Amino acid sequence: MKKLFVAFIFILCTNSFASGQEVILIRHAAVYMEHPGWMSRKNAANLREAYDSAPVHQFNPDTVLAKISKRIADTVYVSGLPRSIATGLKLFGDSAQIVSLDLLNEFELHVVWLPAYLPYKGWTGFSRVLWLLGRKHHGTESYDEAKKRVKLVCDFIEQKANNQKQVILVTHGFLNRNIAKELEKRKWTITQNEGKKNLGATILKK
């Protein structure tokens, strides 16, 4: 009787593991970008634009992969931005299909105008706060539009997770944070929360 009970528990645990779903959100590698002191709004805007095409720092993929679950998904999703694509290829390019989706791009940021000189992070930080408060620049994504896009991303993730059990995204810090928040609302549990730093990962399970 005891052996039957142990066998039942083993089968139950095995089935539970097999039916589990996992999402891994990896932030891209750091990019080569100098921030030379205090600057005008124009220079900050130029740097912000250059950031989207800047190359990433070299890194050891084995060090990154050792901190996440073993890959079982046959596809890895990246954004349409070079830093995400380059990171995804470096991490998984030889072993998985890499699919680029603009849906996974980082939230857009327009550097606001001020009659001042600020450090680069001062410009981007101030601009992001105003964006979060509802300020929208013509031709760029508003915060409300970005939140709707996050929900679409989470719909996509859950659809893929139903079939693949594991979904891996190599995207961006601010986007990852908002994806994780939305998935938590959908009853996913964060088991690792390091996706805010470059090459860090946030892992959620359900």
151 Cβ contact list (under 8 Å, min separation 6) = 182
Least confident of 31-35, 87-91, 144-148: 31-35
Is residue 19 scored above 80 in pLDDT?
A: no
Is residue 3 scored above 80 in pLDDT?
A: no
Return the closest-CA partner of residue 141 out of 153, 154, 128. Answer: 128
Kindly report, residue by residue over 34-71, the tens digit of the pLDDT. 888 999 999 999 999 999 999 999 999 999 999 999 99
C-beta atoms surrounding 44 within 10 Å = 25
| pTM (predicted TM-score) | 0.87
Q: Residue 156: what pLDDT? A: 98
Is residue 13 scored above 90 in pLDDT?
A: no
Lookup result for tokens 């859950």? 158
Kindly report, residue by residue over 70-105, the tens digit of the pLDDT. 999 999 999 999 999 999 999 998 899 999 999 999
> Residue 153, class by beta-carbon neighbours within 10 Å (0-12 exposed, 13-18 middle, 19+ buried)?
buried
8 A C-beta contact, residue 88 and residue 29: no
Q: Residue 7: what pLDDT? A: 40
Domains in the chain, please, with CATH? 20-205 (3.40.50.1240)
